Amino acid sequence: MLALARDDIQLNCEAMDWQEALALAGSSLVAAGLAHAGYVDGLLARERQGSTWLGRGIAIPHGTPASRGEVIATGVRVLQFPKGVPWHDGHTVFLLVAIAAQSDEHLDILRQLTHALGREGAEAMLAKAEDADAIVAVLGHVETPPRLDADTLCLNLPAKSVAELAMVAAARLHGLGCVQPAFVAAIAGETPLMLGSGLALVRSAQAVDVPALALATAAAPLEHGVFGVFCLAARGQAHRPLLERLERLLVQGQAGALRGLSADTVLALLAGEDGETHTGRVRLLNAHGLHARPAKLLVQTARAQPVPVRMRLLEGSPDAISAGSLTKVLGLGARRGQTLVFSARGEQAEAAVAAMLEAVTQGLGESVQPLSEAVSPRQPALSVPAPVEAPAAGVPIAAVPASPGLAVAPVFVLRHPHFEYPEKAVSPAQETTRLDQALEQAARQLDRLIQGTQGAKVANILSVHIEMLADPGLRDATLEAIHEGASAEAAWWHAIDAAARAQEALADRLLAERATDLRDVGRRVLCLLCDTPLPEPPETPYVLVAEDLGPSDVARLDTTRVRALVTARGGATAHSAILARALGIPAVVGAGEALLQLADRLELAVDGDAGRLIPAPDASTLRSFERRIEAQARIEEEAYQSRHEPACTRDGHRVEVAANLGNTAHAADAVERGAEGVGLLRTEFIFMAHPDFPDLETQTAEYGEAFDALAGRPLVARTLDVGGDKPLPYWPVPAEDNPFLGMRGIRLTLSRPEVLEMQLRALLQAAGPRPLRIMFPMIKDIEEFRAGKRIFDRLQAEIQAPDVQLGVMVEIPSSALLAASLAAEVDFFSVGTNDLTQYTLAIDRGHASLSAQSDAMHPAVLQLIRMTVEAAHRHGRWVGVCGELGSDPLAVPVLVGLGVDELSVTARRIPQVKAMIRRLDMDQARAWAALALAQPSSAAVRQALEAAAATDLEQVGV
């Protein structure tokens, strides 16, 4: 909270305009050691977004979220301008309270300020004060209203005495951190004051950290007819209005109604909301809470209503304040996710409250990201789906290739356990203990898996699972349901299911498929809560078939026994698929629910390269698979031995082979596997790893790690690619019906150019003299490229990195169709075949039933790649392919034949892709490309290429 001293006050300041005043305020914050010099720009940027005028001659400037990296410590500097400063919104400012705050701490400061400014005559005194102590006296010493919310209520307990109720209430305040043990001891010696109507009061001012009021009620009346005891942790006189409302309830004979009520109803009564009051509640969605800008719009909405509107914070004091008072609204200190309760009386009260709810829901002038809707706790749908007909023997099944390789082995169908548990529980305390014990045990299990697993990638993903277990958001959501009477099992799965469904709603499959990780973590804890063992695979070699697989399922696999992984659901970017590739296990995903009906020990042939399955293969198919497996083993060994040699065709045509990276930490491993550079660095990883925009120093250090590992090899970095389909929690955007077609990629970053500018600056600074290639994602035409390039050119003129190219990703069909105009100005193209395919074919590549048809080998996609390459080469530009197509064995010859200059693939596939290229000659590759382009469908393309491959298996390396 705000603690002012004389040195924090500057009297008799002068400024000609608001910019000069803010510059003076920023310099004061810098001189006080609260911020770096760059924070001044944040103050100016925030003011341009909207006035920080608080009212009554006072402004409260603070920086933008992007400038928080310039904050050294939270604090304020108060500048007095007795002559006034003309503000840009037409007001005159006499007092500036300049705030330097990390995260949303400024809301606490605003809350204290607005309580101080609520004092009668405070504004005039602050503007004309001639002594700093006088300002300190007003702003630095504020009595905080007592806390009273659902957590301070302990209702309908099986208590045996009034003294027991008093101790329960005191203990609750201690558990919430409001008081110290000495307070509880003092209450133990207190004689309760009988208030009447079945209520009593105990109080103490000893060892109070946060003033608060608790209420404990008994399920049945106790001695003297008492059913409830209020416990007051008092400090100063801030509790008096609350006790006065309680007194009115007693006088009006309504206090007895508190017995047997829910927490919400108790709080409503204590807030003065009775049967004549119309109320409504709404969750606050704004990313940074009810700060000055949205608060102003809220106040304007309230003032426009025909009847007075009051409001309170459900999670705070039940004190209802006027919604038409800006200082009082700011004084609530409401944060994202908290609930605002509006109330009004009179004929038009219902319409007035509805208008307030609508204003908050629409974001109060800001773009907001909806919270996941709560649903009642329910059991997970973890049992095997309703039976469907099993696949026919010997008939190939098309699916999505997820990890390359071939295998034939008996099937083991992994059926997740069916959990039986009660929905409700009697003791929230006991359920909380059970939950915490299960979370701790699950973390120990995962730690043991990490210690015994193979490979850093597996360990890293399982480490993320440990972080999920420690996520306070999951635990808080679970505890909320437990306190409402749910069992630990029901509450936990509700929290997991809600989080997973929110993740699945994201259009970006890379993020949406992380729902599998959440459910994997959820099942682990549920097994512990229900004392249900996880299923164990056989001791002999097998193909694992499952509805879906979690990363810990994959990590537990004994790779000496498991021959392949097959899932009915999921996509090629799920963590289970990523881990399968990391472990070198063939995998096919999205094969359909019928696979779950396969009988255990039935033979299954798996082609992880083509994404094809054959149940109960005949003798001829088995012999073919065996020959291919033997040939593939030889090829892979030879490829690995020559992994550091360049990828040149037999007639000398060079194709660079680089690595796709989702994290700079993997750059060294990519180089070891033969990568000639990084063809795609997904820079959003650094933004997703931080609770707020990573600052310049953090980004520069992260990118520098990759440059160091590459040792002079080129790095192609994609600028931040997030948006409506994969939002950052600290950068909410409006909900979109189709986020694939909404605010994402370059569109979003151009809406916040300071974010793009900082990232470009970090990349240029990190590169130094080393080769850097920057590409903008989701470019649709030349205008979008030019908008980003203007920022780049300005920074490059300043930094002058010597080896930099600026290009675009071809992910939207329009950019391929307009490649000729783009090629005149860009330095290179990188084709993102994953997005290009789904935009071209209008098929979501993660769709449960259509994903197998989302094939980048479709001739329409190949035609767009051809157009891009031809336009680029006419202007002397190079073209890379960074999607999954680049590592498809059938596609490599086609891409080389189309003239693609670089293939960027997963690190594990680099040796094999290089080896495929070395076995080609360009005439052969061009023939394959022409053959593919002549086909009418992706199925026809693959069929034609497989027929060609059968005639010359050694040449093409499949």
Q: What is the pLDDT of residue 855?
A: 80
- Tell me the CB-side half-sphere exposure of residue 315, using CA atoms within 13 A: 11
Q: Which residues pair with 397 in a beta bridge?
A: 613
Question: How high is the pLDDT of residue 675?
Answer: 95
Residue type, 276: E
Handedness of CA 322, 325, 330, 331 (dihedral sign): negative
Output the six-digit token pair for 566.
């097959």
What is d(CA 241, CA 923) in angstroms, rounded to the nearest whole number? 88
Q: Which two tokens stand for residue 791?
A: 């920022």
- Helix 833-841 and helix 859-874, axial crossing angle in degrees, nearest 10: 120
Query: What per-residue confidence (pLDDT) applies to 445?
Result: 84
Sign of CA dihedral 784, 787, 792, 793: positive
Report the amino acid identity of residue 546: A
Sign of CA dihedral 945, 949, 955, 958: positive
Q: What is the pLDDT of residue 386?
A: 42
CA distance 150 to 152: 6
Give the pLDDT confidence score for residue 401 in this predicted structure.
78
CA 219/CA 229 separation, integer angstroms? 13
Q: Find the radius of gyration of the CA atoms of the chain.
A: 32
The Cα 562–Cα 409 span in angstroms is: 9
Predicted confidence (pLDDT) per residue in 499-510, tens digit: 776 655 543 444
Q: Which of 174, 239, 494, 575 is catalytic?
A: 575
**Tokens 């990573």 found at:** 694
Residue with tokens 């309830």: 249
Taking residue 808's Cβ as centre, other Cβ atoms within 10 Å add up to: 30
Residue of 154, 178, 527, 882 marked catalytic:
882
Q: What local confidence, expressed as pLDDT, does residue 570 receive?
A: 66
Is 62 an annotated catalytic residue? Answer: yes
pLDDT recorded at residue 112: 57
Low-confidence ranges of the chain (pLDDT < 50): 1, 372-387, 456, 506-513, 848, 953-958
pLDDT given at position 956 = 40
Give the CA angle between residues 490, 496, 500 to the nearest 5°: 140
Catalytic residue list contains 882: yes
| Structure confidence at residue 459 (pLDDT) | 61
What's residue 815's pLDDT? 95
Cα distance between residue 206 and residue 235, in whole Å: 9
Catalytic residue among 278, 291, 465, 858: 291
Sheet holding 212-218, edge to edge: 153-157, 212-218, 228-233, 199-204, 193-196
CA distance 488 to 871: 61
pLDDT of residue 287: 74
Q: In what order do the strands lie in the sheet with 278-283?
A: 278-283, 339-344, 309-313, 321-322
Question: Per DSSP, which regions of 611-693 are E strands?
Answer: 612-615, 656-661, 678-682
Q: DSSP string spanning 255-274?
A: GGGGTT--HHHHHHHHTT--
Q: Supply the pLDDT for residue 820.
A: 95
Taking each helix axis from N to C end, the angle separating 859-874 and 891-898, rounded to the nearest 10 degrees, works out to 30
